[in-house]
Structure 1
Amino acid sequence: MAKILIAEDEKPINELIRRNLILVGHECTQAFDGEEALYLCQTKTFDLALLDIMMPVIDGFQLKRELPKELPVIFVTAKAGLSDRLAGLGLGADDYIVKPFEILELLARVEAVLRRTHAENVGLDIGPCHIELDTRRVWVNGEEIVLKPQEFALLEVLVRNRNFALSREKLLELAWNFDYEGDTRTVDVHIQRLRKKLGLAQQIETVYKLGYRLNTKK
């Protein structure tokens, strides 16, 4: 779990980001203008800041200049021009995401930055399992279980997108990549293997007419 500041003046977008980051286990603090975000960074400790650029009082670029250099920053903005991207990255931002964005892409980019800055908690307990994503190892009730590479790839996608309903097509895209030529039935087969090997029959839920969800709230 990471502590993340969301600085975004559009309340619906701020809340959308907050809710989805909380779903995957992060702790979020909201700011709705640059001045408030700066004050929060001066009084609290964060692992990552998500900054809009066009904010009241202090814009995102100026805010980045005033934040501690060691605080990782991702700009999340409607400013899609190359000059804006270069300006943001030139200020030392770790990533630059253009609105509108897919929430799964945002989560993936957040996790990538947290991995690079060693702020991501790569150990996770779900049901009887302890899962370590960095070492690609899994234990069930204290006993290590060896998964095949594709089984772990699917498990990692479920873990990184926990509490989200993912279609079979999306699971194929994320865990098998675009060049896989099989059909979605292979997802069902691998899901059944994970449920059996890891004792996650209740946690890996079937979502009717869609796909699957790893529910970590049970």
Structure 2
Amino acid sequence: MNILIVEDDEAIANLIKINLIAEGYDCVCAYDGKAGADYIEKYPYDLILLDIMLPEINGYELLEYIKPLGTPVIFITAKGNVEERIRGLRLGADDYIVKPFQVGELIARVESLLRRYGKVNKKLTFADVEIDMVSRTVSKNGIVVDLTVKEFDLLVELVQNKNVALYRDRLYEKIWGEVFMGDTRTLDSHIQRLRRKLNWEKYIKTVFRIGYRLEEGQ
């Protein structure tokens, strides 16, 4: 899926780009509103991340140009007051995230919005593992790994939130669809099986008193 990042702070734009590419998205950056408009005119995008305070053409004006295309938009801006958020949403933005923000939160919002529009990343990759979201198969170094339904769902949740500490109660309720009652044995046993089947002891970390985090091995 193709994502356009329109952000005049090149460091922020490139940081977003690097992290989205790592998630399997194709990204391009525009550092002012005019360049953003040129990209939008020439190429179709699945999602646009749009700063408000841009040189040449500001984000509000650019949004007016984007709306007829039906492309989902997330505003990224330092303007965090309620009035600005309301204005952006009323003009047609689908979501709004305020600087400074955690990259993990931005990625989660991107994924949520793409799902809402029926645009799903068909494959996820992390380290030596590839996840096919359509066939619900997992392969490690090209060899299929047999996972249960819950193990697959848990793996996807970890990969989609890599480098983020996930609370046990959140994980349990998301994967099992039940209220977490404090018993961690079911979740913990699934985590142990995932570690063993994927040989991911160095990737799936236990976070003391919180839960688990998927991170690059040292």
Aligned residue pairs total: 203
Aligned-pair CA distance for 1:159: 2.5
CA distance in 2, matches of 1:121, 1:41: 21
Partner of 1:175: 171
Q: Which sections of structure 1, spanning at least 5 residues, go unmatched?
A: none
1:20 corresponds to 2:19? yes
2:149 paired residue number: 147
Deviation at 1:32, TM superposition (A): 0.7
Post-superposition Cα deviations, 1:156-192, rounded to whole Å, max 9, x if no partner, equal 221213xx3344xx24264135966357x87653322
Match of 1:165 in 2: 163
Change (3 A) 1:180 1:208: closer
> Matched residues in 2 for 1:22 and 1:92: separation?
26
1:47-86 alignment, distance < 5 Å:
47-67=46-66, 68-86=68-86
What corresponds to 2:195 in structure 1? 195
Q: How many angstroms apart in 2 are the aligned matches of 1:70 and 1:23?
A: 26
Q: Residue in 1 aligned with 2:108? A: 108
Contact 1:204–1:212 under 8 Å retained in 2:
no
Query: Does the Cα contact within 8 Å between 1:34 and 1:58 map onto a contact in 2?
Result: yes
Unaligned runs of 5+ in 2: 174-178
Give, in angstroms, the shift of residue 40 of structure 1: 0.7
**Corresponding residue for residue 132 of structure 1:** 133
Question: CA–CA distance in 2 between the matches of 1:65 and 1:50?
Answer: 14
Q: Does 1:31 align with 2:30?
A: yes
Counterparts of 1:93 and 1:156, CA distance in 2: 28
Contact 2:194 2:200 in 1 (8 A): no
The CA distance in 1 between the partners of 2:129 and 2:53, in whole Å, is 46
SS of the residue 2:69 aligns to: coil
The DSSP-based 3-state class of the residue aligned with 1:50 is strand
Counterpart in the other structure of 1:90: 90
Letter in 2 for 1:18: K
Residue 147 of structure 1 and its aligned partner are, at CA, apart by 2.7
Q: Secondary structure at the match of 1:28?
A: strand
Q: Is the 8 A contact 1:4 1:49 kept in 2?
A: yes
Separation (CA, whole Å) in 1 of partners of 2:131 and 2:207: 30
Letter in 2 for 1:61: Y
